[in-house]
Amino acid sequence: MRALTSEPVSCRVPLEPVSKVEVLASGVTYSNVDVGRIAFESPALLGGAAGRMGLSCASCHVNGRGNPDFFIEGVSGAPGTADVTNSLFSKSRGNGAFDPTPIPDLAARDGKQMQVRKGDAFKAKTHGLIVEEFDGQEPPEQMLYDVIAYMDGLALCADPSARQSLTAQKDMETANTAFWIAQGLAPDGRRIMARAARERLERLNERFVAPGQADVRGALLEASRAIGAWMEAPDAAGEAAVVDALKVARALVTREQGRSLYEPEVLRAALGRAGLGSR
């Protein structure tokens, strides 16, 4: 239940410079740290088996922190561990041994983590994690810097154990922001942001399964399809179609979120009916 309805709180230190960009057509305001966060949370940044499984950097490092609930058979030992030299994820770093280690909290900057996150050394490490450890495609140069900026600003909270609720509104906002960010990027960056938007819509779709919520799922699917079509051929007509589809989806999500699987009691009841328990 905890992993499905809440996440660690992310606290940050101010970074300079952080460029604020206002997209006048939509009113969306975002920074390079927002771009980095969305890429960090998207499987589109990774490749190979990890990307196909829907894993992202945030699968291990939720909100840039750790993930004590992470477990993949053959990759994890105990929950919260991962074998990062597993051949399933990496053709170049697979070592043929099963050696899972605890997933670190990136905000803690302890243990074997690089504490200095500026300069060529951390850039090379981050690049290697994407293209070697997870067989990802070469990331756009600016987006790599944005991901580094996101990680560099992570800080431990006053209460490191504090958690916050997962919400439909947050996922809807991220999908919308990712789409608008995509519009100002070159094709390789646009692809990552557009895919990130679609992935958020898919996550939302999975949480609206109650009787009478077919219209919500349909609207989310239509918004995802519209983004996919725009991604292949960006033009004004495609943009307008996405804007309209997202508007409809947002309204239906707002109407039905109280009956969605984002709500702990609704999820608990659904798990109970499925015989999966509700811990």
Q: What's the CA gap between 136 and 126, in Å, rounded?
A: 12
Q: What's the CA gap between 106 and 204, in Å, rounded?
A: 27
Residues 164, 9 contacting (CB under 8 angstroms) = yes
Q: How many CB atoms lie within 10 A of CB 127?
A: 17
Q: What's the CA gap between 10 and 154, in Å, rounded?
A: 7
What CA–CA distances, in Å, run from 11 to 3, 16, 177? 19, 16, 20
pTM score = 0.92
Question: What tens-digit pLDDT sequence spans the chain (279 residues)?
Answer: 888 999 999 999 876 656 667 665 677 888 899 999 999 999 999 878 888 899 999 999 999 999 999 999 999 999 999 998 888 888 888 888 899 999 999 998 886 677 778 889 999 999 999 998 888 889 999 999 999 999 999 998 999 899 999 999 999 999 999 999 999 899 999 999 999 999 999 999 999 999 999 999 999 999 999 999 999 999 999 999 999 999 999 999 999 999 999 999 999 999 998 888 655
Domain boundaries, the chain: 2-163, 166-267
Instruction: Say which CATH topology domain 166-267 has.
Output: Four Helix Bundle (Hemerythrin (Met), subunit A) (1.20.120)
